[in-house]
């Protein structure tokens, strides 16, 4: 460790820097103001601490699980369940679920987190509600192709890039189609004492006429149609009986296999998160939960009640 004295309007402040950081700081000493850099970092950390001490933030953390949240956890073997009083309008419900999921991630993501994010309108609502953070994370985009020509803003590459901007400069993002995606996700991930691995996606029923089907391409959609595909979660497709349907994914693509998702869902240090609600997603939600592809659900009270019927 090296000590770097910083001169500010306060009395002299001695900052302890690890040797590699000290070496880096020495190279930039003449062109960078270390006092300003440290002041910004300290301000960010203290502002975040103050924000998390406000009454709303404290109440969200301390609020005990509701009865219906406890029932969802018990019936489906979940690690977490967040149930909100949602609006009947699908667009408004999507926004509300996105805000609830973003608050959940804000509370749980910290340095060292590994995050995988799928695409879709619901995921767009999650990402745009997240708070900027100076955290060290590794972000993986789940999906296929470089972009969605119809819905550019909901493509996983767009969402992973936005997430990186929120968490930069200490985070890194691995988007689809920029060379070989690093093999970050496997069953050999080290065990951690707290939630560290996050996979977040919505689910949907399969529609041959949707923009998602057009993005998959004719070969994949033909296979899905013949197999009587019902829906998907995080690009894992299934029929109405909960049987996985494997399709030829064209390159470039990145997805986590169903066995890996089921394995992660059993781990205490992983959160495989389903964010969905509303009548049109109810059956896909039920199959996703029954297949044990997720261990956390963010939904509305009407959908939760129907799931428990």
Pair 169, 72 in one domain: yes
Average of per-residue pLDDT across 279-304 = 97
Question: For residue range 23-61, what is the model confidence (pLDDT) as tens digits?
Answer: 777 777 776 676 777 676 666 666 655 555 544 555 555
Q: Which residues pair with 36 in a beta bridge?
A: none
Contact 119, 89 (CB under 8 A): no
Pair 177, 223 in one domain: yes
CATH number for the domain that contains residue 270: 3.40.50.1360
Pair 157, 12 in one domain: no
Question: For residue range 153-192, what is the model confidence (pLDDT) as tens digits?
Answer: 999 999 999 999 999 999 999 999 886 666 899 999 999 9
Pair 70, 41 in one domain: no
CA distance linking residue 207 with residue 220, whole number of Å = 13
Pair 98, 42 in one domain: no
CA distance linking residue 82 with residue 96, whole number of Å = 12
Structural domains counted in the chain? 2
Inside any domain, residue 54: no
Pair 30, 74 in one domain: no
Contact 285, 82 (CB under 8 A): no
Pair 238, 265 in one domain: yes
Please report, in angstroms and rounded to a whole number, the separation of the first and last CA atoms in the chain.
60
Contact 274, 297 (CB under 8 A): yes
Per-residue pLDDT band for 8 (boundaries 50, 70, 90) equals very low
Full domain range(s) for residue 162:
66-307
Exposed, middle or buried by CB within 10 Å (0-12, 13-18, 19+), for 304? Answer: buried
Q: Which of 111, 261, 297, 136 is nearest to 189 (CA)?
A: 261
Higher pLDDT, 202 or 61: 202
Pair 38, 96 in one domain: no
Inside any domain, residue 61: no
Pair 35, 116 in one domain: no
Tokens of 186: 């496997």
Pair 228, 298 in one domain: yes
Inside any domain, residue 14: yes
Q: Which of 187, 159, 155, 160 is nearest to 171 (CA)?
A: 160
Cis-peptide into 205, omega within 30 deg: no
């Amino acid at each position: 460790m090296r000590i770097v004295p910083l001169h500010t309007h306060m009395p002299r402040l001695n900052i302890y820097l690890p040797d590699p950081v000290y070496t880096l700081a020495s190279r930039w000493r003449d062109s960078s103001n270390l006092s300003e850099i440290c002041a910004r970092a300290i301000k960010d950390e203290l502002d975040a601490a103050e924000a998390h001490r406000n009454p709303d933030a404290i109440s969200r953390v301390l609020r005990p699980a509701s009865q219906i949240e406890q029932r969802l956890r018990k019936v489906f073997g979940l690690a977490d369940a967040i149930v909100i009083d949602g609006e009947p309008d699908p667009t408004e419900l999507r926004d509300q679920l996105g805000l609830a999921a973003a608050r959940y991630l804000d509370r749980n993501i910290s340095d060292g987190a590994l995050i995988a994010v799928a695409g879709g309108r619901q995921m767009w609502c999650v990402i745009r509600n997240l708070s900027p953070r100076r955290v060290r994370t590794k972000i993986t985009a789940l999906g296929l192709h470089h972009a969605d020509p119809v819905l550019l803003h909901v493509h996983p590459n767009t969402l992973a890039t936005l997430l990186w901007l929120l968490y930069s400069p200490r985070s890194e993002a691995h988007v689809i189609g920029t060379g070989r995606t690093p093999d970050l996700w496997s069953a050999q991930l080290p065990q951690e004492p707290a939630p560290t691995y996050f996979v977040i996606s919505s689910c949907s029923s399969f529609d041959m006429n949707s923009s998602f089907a057009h993005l998959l391409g004719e070969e994949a959609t033909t296979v899905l149609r013949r197999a009587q595909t019902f829906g998907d979660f995080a690009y894992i497709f299934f029929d109405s009986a909960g049987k996985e349907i494997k399709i030829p994914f064209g390159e470039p693509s990145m997805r986590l296999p169903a066995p890996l998702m089921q394995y992660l869902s059993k781990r205490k240090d992983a959160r495989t998160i389903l964010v969905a609600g509303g009548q049109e997603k109810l059956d896909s939600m039920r199959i996703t939960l029954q297949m044990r592809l997720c261990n956390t659900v963010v939904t509305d009270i009407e959908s939760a009640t129907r799931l428990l019927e």
